[in-house]
Chains A and B, each alone.
Chain A
Amino acid sequence: QKEVEQDPGPLSVPEGAIVSLNCTYSNSAFQYFMWYRQYSRKGPELLMYTYSSGNKEDGRFTAQVDKSSKYISLFIRDSQPSDSATYLCAVSYNFNKFYFGSGTKLNVKP
């Protein structure tokens, strides 16, 4: 069983839509949760970080962790064409090793 599962998409939405991206993880011992954004032909860059359960908001982005169901989500409000990218979730025990989902490709149409 993979540590992190993520729907690969692609997900296509109109500009201004609310986007929901999700991952499930296998081990309840994970306590650090991250979302990375990867533009085409670039390396991933950190978008959001959450420790343990709960929500974290940063502008149009909200990261949510539900440890009881081992489910992590990223919500994007008022999506823009510039949000078109691949979004990767990642989990970690201790930051010396990270486990990544396979990524969801998002396309926001103008």
Chain B
Amino acid sequence: DVKVTQSSRYLVKRTGEKVFLECVQDMDHENMFWYRQDPGLGLRLIYFSYDVKMKEKGDIPEGYSVSREKKERFSLILESASTNQTSMYLCASSLNFRRETRYEQYFGPGTRLTVT
């Protein structure tokens, strides 16, 4: 059973703080993704990574950075948290596009981040 875990379910941070969100998957997936989910806007892709140390910007990368030093771990970093980054953050993983069942993304439970 694929498992994607996220370091925190709920997080409250102050404006200007540096915030780290951690995601770990245990199925040796090549691809990993960070999304944010907001009411009425759905899931929006922040960054994704298709290999260790590789990353690509998604649709809304501003104010975020990522790190992938190991295949199973993908970190999202908010360099200086702002109130408009209050959101639900979802991590996902999937197999490389050349592999079977590559269409399935497995999601973590999400981290609800509040920036005050």
Question: Which residues of A are interface residues toward B (Cβ below 8 A)?
Answer: 4, 6, 8, 32, 34, 41-46, 49, 88, 92, 94-103
Contact = CB atoms under 8 A, between A and B. Distances in A.
Interface string B88-110: 00101010010000111101111
Interface string B34-52: 0100001111110010100
A89 B104 CA distance: 13
Contact of B103 (A32, A41, A45, A101): A32
B104 A49 contact: yes
Contacts, number: 55
B45 A97 contact: yes
A101 to B, nearest CB: 6
A95 B97 contact: yes
B4 A43 contact: yes
Contact of A6 (B4, B33, B42, B105): B42
Contacts of B4: 43
B31 interface: yes
Contacts of B40: 8, 102
A92 B105 CA distance: 12
B43 A95 contact: no
Contacts of B104: 46, 49
B45 A98 contact: yes
Given A42-B109, A43-B90, A100 B42 contact: yes
Contacts of B107: 43-45
A23 to B, nearest CB: 10
